Amino acid sequence: MTSRWTTAVLDTDQPGGWAVARSPEGFLFDDNGALFPREWLKRQDLSILAEHGIGHLDGEPVYLLELRSHSDVPGCNWKGLRAFMLEGDHTVYKVLGYAAQIGTWAREHRFCGNCGQAMIQVPRERAMYCEPCDLRSYPRISPSMIVLVTRGDEVLLARSPRFVTGVYSTLAGFAEPGESAEDCLIREVREEVQIEVKNIQYMGSQCWPFPHSMMLGFHAEYAGGEIVCQEDEIEDAQWFNVHELPPLPASRSIARYLIDVYVARRLGHAEPVLPG
Ligand SMILES: NC(=O)c1ccc[n+]([C@@H]2O[C@H](COP(=O)([O-])OP(=O)(O)OC[C@H]3O[C@@H](n4cnc5c(N)ncnc54)[C@H](O)[C@@H]3O)[C@@H](O)[C@H]2O)c1
Ligand SMILES: [Mg+2]
Ligand SMILES: [Zn+2]
């Protein structure tokens, strides 16, 4: 099956195509969704910071208008990326997730980190460039480990104070310089719940554009220790039986996938597929 959405660096001098508009309030949308005819969108009263050609959807070019601030467009509203993930068409969410990462990166790399001068968008390459330093900045991706710790019929799930009331999820955290994926996973589980793990098994990965994580998902078995929650980060953590699970994270998240796969295996059900 060919993908409906492919990323590309497109020349912004070419006319036509679709465009999405992103402001600090989220993406612009109307009854037809978040993709607008580009020429129409550029005629609206928008405070455009930069334009990026980001790819092709069903063969049609797609552009991002990154805005300084939101403005009123008749018949339209603004909505954050998370809402599109939860409610929307998965392909459109992928387009917007990519647009958000490119917009964030380009916005935060307008000036050279070495000399402080203005950087320029490199034609035909996804890079910002400082000529005096001959320095290129590429989109930033932050590797994060996410792990379901298991003990037979039980799984270890935890709550952050930021979660929706009642929801428990897998443990996660960002890789630090000098660490392998496994080092990071072991450290994060130790820091957050003081549990030791063994038999770490890679399960799959997911782009998580909030704002630029690359989630690497694992299962790991319990090897020792008693749960002690990390102050401020973990509000509660418990062993839950696969027959008595609490409210879980959104179905498109890799956190949910890691839980669903393990539960399916224990109960002999068909395994779910990780959303791309
Ligand atoms: N897709 C999923 O299913 C899923 C589930 C859980 C968490 N996540 C994501 O995993 C990531 C890590 O989860 P968490 O709950 O530990 O996050 P977090 O936001 O609590 O981050 C923990 C701490 O890491 C530091 N930090 C922030 N950004 C960093 C970066 N880019 N590099 C290094 N350190 C950084 C900060 O001190 C922050 O307080 C987050 O992006 C979160 O959104 C995704
Ligand atoms: Mg964490
Ligand atoms: Zn420079």
| Contact call for residues 262 and 147 (beta carbons, < 8 A) | no
- Please choose, from the candidates 115, 145, 123, 119, the residue with its C-alpha nearest in 3D space to the C-alpha of residue 208: 145
Mean pLDDT, the chain, whole residue set: 96
- Read off the pLDDT of each residue in 205-222 and give the average, rounded to a whole number: 97
| Contact call for residues 223 and 197 (beta carbons, < 8 A) | yes
Question: Atom of ligand 1 at shortest distance to CA of 255?
Answer: 3
- Sign of torsion over alpha carbons 133, 134, 140, 143: negative
Q: How far apart are CA 198 and CA 5, in angstroms?
A: 38
Place of tokens 């552009």: 63
Question: Atom of ligand 1 at shortest distance to CA of 253?
Answer: 3
Amino acid 2: pLDDT? 72
Q: How far apart are CA 133 and CA 112, in angstroms?
A: 8
- CA 137 – ligand 3 centroid, Å: 10
Amino acid 163: pLDDT? 95
* Ligand having the closest approach to the CA of 157: 1
**Which residues line ion ligand 2, judged by CB < 5 Å?**
172-173
Residue nearest (by alpha carbon) to ligand 1 atom 16:
173
* Domain locations in the chain as residue ranges: 5-107, 109-140, 142-267
* Structure ipTM over 0.90, yes or no: yes
Amino acid 93: pLDDT? 96
92: which 2 tokens? 């459109």
Amino acid 261: pLDDT? 98
Amino acid 85: pLDDT? 93
Express each pLDDT in 114-149 by its tens digit: 999 999 998 889 999 999 999 999 999 999 999 999
Question: Residue 149: what are its φ and ψ, rounded to 5°?
Answer: -90, 130
Name the pTM for this structure.
Answer: 0.94
Pocket of ligand 1, beta carbon within 6 A: 142, 144, 146, 160, 169, 172-174, 206, 208, 210, 213, 215, 249, 253-255
- Read off the pLDDT of each residue in 241-252 and give the average, rounded to a whole number: 96
Place of tokens 């018949």: 75
Contacts 24+ apart (CB under 8 A), 137-142: 137/105, 137/109, 137/113, 139/101, 139/102, 139/105, 139/212, 140/105, 140/212, 141/212, 141/213, 141/214, 142/174, 142/175, 142/212, 142/213, 142/214
Evaluate whether 5-107 and 142-267 have a shared fold: yes
Assigned CATH topology for domain 5-107: Nucleoside Triphosphate Pyrophosphohydrolase (3.90.79)
Amino acid 208: pLDDT? 96
Asked if the bond preceding 272 is cis, omega within 30° of 0, the reply is no
Amino acid 75: pLDDT? 95
| Contact call for residues 56 and 62 (beta carbons, < 8 A) | yes
Q: 109-140 in CATH: which number?
A: 2.20.70
In the three-class reduction of DSSP (H, G, I as helix; E, B as strand; rest coil), residue 5 is classed as strand
When pLDDT is cut at 50, 70 and 90, the band that residue 1 belongs to is low
Q: Residue 211 contacts by C-beta under 8 Å, 6 or more apart in sequence?
A: 100, 101, 104
- CA 114 – ligand 3 centroid, Å: 5
Express each pLDDT in 153-203 by its tens digit: 999 999 999 999 999 999 999 999 999 999 999 999 999 999 999 999 999
Express each pLDDT in 12-66 by its tens digit: 999 999 999 999 999 999 999 999 999 999 999 999 999 999 999 999 999 999 9
Q: 142-267 in CATH: which number?
A: 3.90.79.10
When pLDDT is cut at 50, 70 and 90, the band that residue 275 belongs to is confident
